[in-house]
A and B are shown apart, each in its own frame.
Chain A
Amino acid sequence: MTTQTQLIATQAKQKKKRSSPLGKVAIRLPALVIAILLWQLAATAFSTPFFPPFFSIVARFQEDWLSGPATQLFLSDAFYTNALPTIGRLAIGWILGALLGVTIGSLIAYLPRLGAALEPLVRFGMSLPTPALLPLAIAFFGLDAGGKIFFIALGAIWPVIVGTAAGLRGADPVAVSSARSLNLSPATLFLRVRIPLASPQIMAGLRVSVNAAVLLIIVAELYATTTGIGFMIVSAQRNFDVLGTWSGVFLLALLGIVCNGLFVLVERRVMRWQIIPREAQK
């Protein structure tokens, strides 16, 4: 669990140092702009076949995904037919994995014998390169949406189980017993006291699982598909359509960035209460 505790500690530190959003952008943007310009310049100057200029890719990206009418929010038909299902599967798979993970993690925390019995499996799941489960998921559910959702849930579940179990087990006994003295019903005690107390570690687990889910949807997309972003990318790649390949890669990269960003936003909102008590302890 040390990695996750470290993770939380660094996050707390980052929060403490948070400065004005504008100042943050002002100091961070230049490196990004320079990197993009360097790419553009280098690609134009050396003109290698596989690394086209940045803005050529952006133009193709726009044509592929953002060329729709205003009524479709400017998103192209290709986006609706190929990208949206992918994103939907990612969301459903991850939510399924997260809910199951919290449930199983809670059961493990309350039933030590069950926890001990499941420990080998959980350890196995934590150290398994989860994409290896894909052939298994396909054997089970086939190549369609069900298989992909199952695959993502199966890969995203492990860190959530571990985070939830560790968070619930490690809850401050004083806080729990003082809450108990309030004569709360077991359900209220669990949902209003225990889960919030465990939430830093649950969040850490969820964060790892988001990254896992994004990795897995991309793996699922690139593995022998007949529709979706992956299919577009793979067919562009087979036709040596470098710009088309890059355009798809950009969409996948953007998927990673957006999912991560959304999670950070949610985490900040949910975990706001964490900051003050932790600062006061110091």
Chain B
Amino acid sequence: MELSFRERMLWGVVGILALLATMQIVVATGLVSSRAMPTATDMLLAFANLVVSQTFLFALAATLLASMLAFLLSSLVGIPLGVVLGTSPTAEKVASGLIETLRPIPAIALMPIAILSLGIGLEMKVALAALAALWPVMISTIAGVRDTDSMMVRAGRSFTWGSLTIMRKIQLPAALPFIISGARQSVSLALVIVVTLELLGAREGIGDVIRQYSAAGRVDYVFAGVLATGLLGLGLHAVLGWVERRLMHWAPQYRKAAK
């Protein structure tokens, strides 16, 4: 049984309204303490106040700045490294021991050390978020370069191209769909880490704002802040997805024309 687009939207709206109504009822009737959860109306009011406040907009800018810097740093390191490891199977095998050991280490675990050596400002956020964001972009670059069709590389060699030209004109563009989808994961991850670090005490940013409201016991603003953070994540997803489809219109998964 498939639902039409209209039906899905309709039920989606019903779902949101039901959720808000439940919130409203359980808190208004005292089933859930108003110190644990705001009513839906209080949350939405707080949300409306929050998103137009200067504090929040500055915080938003700080969070986005740190996330973007971290992402840029991770790409600057991850893409060239991925290209090298993707080109040389031996290098990849040798490095894989290190990669597979380091990758599961949550970057957040390094926060106490990072605070000691870098403080609680932008540098610390960028360093840790970049470390976390390094893996997706690097690993997808490795996969993309490694899986470039050998026929294309041979075509490049038949044009009397050297390996650097082949890398630049064939392997990199051919790997781009992989690299971009990895980069998309890296951006999301950078945002998650930055917000988390702010929640845990890093200076500035939306996580910092939520933490302060939490400390002040303003559950309405805490919920509003979480709502705003989620919407920010959704927005970022949508924008990055759009960029990916625009850039990668030629890649098999985005082609409009049939073969």
A residues neighboring B (CB under 8 Å): 2-3, 6, 10, 27-32, 35, 50-51, 112-113, 116-121, 123-125, 127-136, 138-140, 211, 214-215, 218-219, 222-223, 233-234, 236-237, 240, 242, 245-246, 248-249, 252-253, 255-257, 259-261
Q: Does A117 lie within 8 Å of B219, measured CB to CB?
A: no
Whole-angstrom distance from the CB of B127 to the nearest CB of chain A?
12
**Can you give 19 contacting A-B residue pairs, CB < 8 Å?**
A27-B94, A30-B94, A112-B3, A113-B3, A117-B11, A123-B234, A127-B234, A129-B191, A131-B196, A131-B207, A133-B226, A211-B104, A215-B192, A215-B196, A234-B112, A248-B112, A255-B109, A256-B105, A257-B101
Most chain B CB atoms below 10 A, which of A28, A237, A260: A28
User: Interface on chain B toward A: helix, strand, loop, or mixed SS?
Assistant: helix
Selected contact of B37 from candidates A140, A242, A245, CB within 8 Å: A140
Closest 5 CB pairs of A and B: A28-B97, A117-B15, A127-B233, A116-B11, A260-B104
Q: Does A249 lie within 8 Å of B233, measured CB to CB?
A: no
Whole-angstrom distance from the CB of B56 to the nearest CB of chain A?
14
Selected contact of B12 from candidates A3, A29, A116, CB within 8 Å: A116
For the complex, count residues of B whose C-beta is within 8 A of A. Answer: 65
> Known contacts being A2-B181, A127-B234, is A237 close to B223, with CB within 8 Å?
no
Q: Does A32 lie within 8 Å of B113, measured CB to CB?
A: no
> Known contacts being A28-B97, A129-B196, A215-B108, is A139 close to B1, with CB within 8 Å?
no
> Known contacts being A28-B93, A30-B94, A134-B199, is A127 close to B108, with CB within 8 Å?
no
Most chain A CB atoms below 10 A, which of B3, B106, B116, B191: B106
Tell me the bound Cα distance from A54 to B237 in angstroms.
Answer: 39
